Amino acid sequence: MARLSQADLAALNKTFDDRSPQELLAWAHEIFGSRLAAMTSMQESGNVICHMISHIPVPMSVVFVDTGVLFQETLETRDRLIREYGLQIRTLTPAMTMQEQTERFGILYLTPDGQKQCCEMRKSEPLDAVRGEYDALIGSLRRADGGRRGVCPVLAVDTRLNLLRINVLANVTDEQLEAYISEHSVILNPLHKQGFSTIGCNRCTTPVLPGEPKRAGRWRHLGPWSVYCGINPTDMDPDRAPAVDFPQELIDRILGRSADFMI
């Protein structure tokens, strides 16, 4: 195995800033083939990606983490995407129900440290199930979302899953996203029209007031100390994602390198 670092991707990331989401999806499929999947949490950006994927002439799996405490509207949105877009959505779940977790650990989400532990068990650990199955995951992070995502790269290494995260919407503005949704009548989580700018677990997500930041409704009861769940490594400490282990041949394909001589 060879090592692919975030620094190795710098030049490619600059080039990809000018690519459309559809072009990035086509590149990803060409490079990774069947070892590529998408991930969504049934929010606006993820549903846009699901719509785009549904128009690709080859099947692509979609990964979805059901924490066991999601809003019913979120689960119904998943079911609509399967039924109306014909997507293969793989639902991952935590090892424990929320009742079992609470009986063992108490109500974790009432403190910042407890929230991190809760999100780890109910979001991040279930996603560990795909480690080794994929070399890349299509994500829906956008710089327009602000905060730590204001500088998210198109390509980001994820050492925990040992794969590449590909944020095909990274440079898409709010206006461009809304235009795509309107033009294509994208299936949306109905909670977006009920004041929810972002949507997570029903214990820790509230509507957002006019003028508030987009993520103000996430863990509102914990104040500004809890804004991200940790399922996206670029939201957290950047030192968490320095490099991944890939076959040299795959790294050469990603970086567009070729050699016409033997070493």
Active site residues: 229
The pairing of strands 36-39 and 136-139 is parallel
Pairing, β 88-92 against β 2-5: unpaired
Angle (CA) 132-134-139 rounded to 5° is 130
Among 241, 261, 262, CA closest to 8: 241
Give CA–CA dist 128/137, Å, rounded.
13
User: What are the residues whose beta carbons fall under 8 Å from the beta carbon of 40, sequence distance 6 or more?
Assistant: 46, 47, 49, 50, 62, 63, 64, 140
**Which whole-number Å values give the CA distances from 89 to 1, 42, 54, 221, in the listed order?**
30, 11, 12, 32
Q: Hey, CA dihedral for 154, 165, 119, 186, is it positive or negative?
A: positive
DSSP lists the bridge partners of residue 61 as 37, 88
Question: In this structure, which amino acid lies at residue 182?
Answer: S
Which tokens sit at 214? 């987009």
Helix, strand, coil percent values for the chain (each to nearest 5): 50, 15, 35
